[in-house]
Amino acid sequence: MPDTVTCPYCRNVAEPGDLDCSLCGQQLPVAPRAFSPPPVAFGPPAAAVPPPPSPALPGFGYPPAQPWPGDAGAPPAAPGPAVPVGPPRGGGWIPVAALMLLVVVAAAVALLLWHRSNADQTAAPSPRPAGSTASSSTPDQATSQEATVVAPAQLQHRERNARITVPATSSPAPDAGNNQVTYDAAHLVDGDPATAWRMDGDGAGSSLRFDVDGPTTFHRIGLINGYTKIDPYDSTDRYPQMRRITQVTWNLDGRTFTQLLQDGNQSPQLIDVPDVTATSITLTIDATTGPGVAALDYTPISEVQLLGG
């Protein structure tokens, strides 16, 4: 029922909707309206109306604000580049690296085989402690061999057998024709300068001993101070490849003689001794050159000559 309004001047009750009092003619106050909540709508919500774009700010020249992606009415964002899903590319380097490794290994093996066929011995000898001894069969023991002391016929009254003791002997090794070459002590007095005794490393300080089977008077003594061999298969000169002896000391039953040797002279280098009679001769290597090829670090002697009778 509509609310009635009472005139504040004459207390007349006015009819609903009157603006002026019918009794005194005064303007009536507006009756307060009762609050009524807005009706609740049931059903799907109305579509959102996008807000109007913001006007540019005057004087600054900025464009109207643009809606952010995701705002109502904003255009959908352009799709980005497709991201591949799966294992990363670039794995092809693995077989390439494996192939390169095989090539390097094959080259190393080929180089090793070339050295074996071209230098009587490829690998550098293992370093030995000072004073250690070796032989071709028992590399950690001194070795002695029976041999014949050979002298030129004009100085030789009779041949003497001798026991030769050396401090060490290199193991056999193939030549350029893949034939095994030995370096035994007997090669010191076999009369063939193309054969040799040799030991691993620098022989300086090492001694060789010759014990003859009876008192013998010696006139001249000496040696070939390296390996004077020309390889018959590839004509390689072995002399400059290994060490050469530059000084030795001879001891003939207590009598000592120092001999200087010329590097590069591949002939027997001899010194005169004043008819010394002895049964034992010790040859001490005092000094050597360095090896001509680093992998061929050996001290060889192609021949020892003990001339007397």
Please name the residue that has the structure tokens 């390169």.
100
Which residue has tokens 């050979």? 150
How high is the pLDDT of residue 26? 80
> What are the residue boundaries of the structural domains of the chain, listed by start?
1-32, 143-308
**In the chain, where do the E strands start and end?**
5-6, 13-14, 143-149, 160-166, 173-174, 180-181, 197-200, 207-224, 245-252, 255-260, 269-288, 298-301, 303-308
Q: What is the pLDDT of residue 11?
A: 79
> What is the Cα–Cα distance from 132 to 146, expressed in whole angstroms?
22
Phi, psi (rounded to 5 degrees) for 99: -65, -40
Give the whole-angstrom CA distance, residue 281 versus residue 223.
13
Per-residue model confidence (pLDDT) at position 120? 47
Tell me: domain 143-308, CATH 2.60.120.260, correct? yes
List the pLDDT tens digit at each of the 309 positions of the chain: 556 778 888 878 877 777 888 788 787 776 555 555 555 555 565 555 566 655 544 444 445 555 555 555 555 555 555 545 444 554 555 566 777 787 777 777 666 666 554 544 433 444 433 333 333 333 334 555 555 544 433 334 456 778 899 999 999 999 888 999 999 999 998 989 999 999 999 999 999 999 988 888 899 999 999 999 999 889 999 999 999 999 999 999 999 999 999 999 999 999 999 889 999 999 999 999 999 999 999 999 999 999 876
Q: What is the pTM of this model?
A: 0.54
**222-236 residues labelled b (16+ CB within 10 A) or e (exposed):** bbbbbbbbebeeeeb
In degrees, rounded to 5, the angle at the alpha carbon of residue 255 between the alpha carbons of residues 206 and 243 is: 25
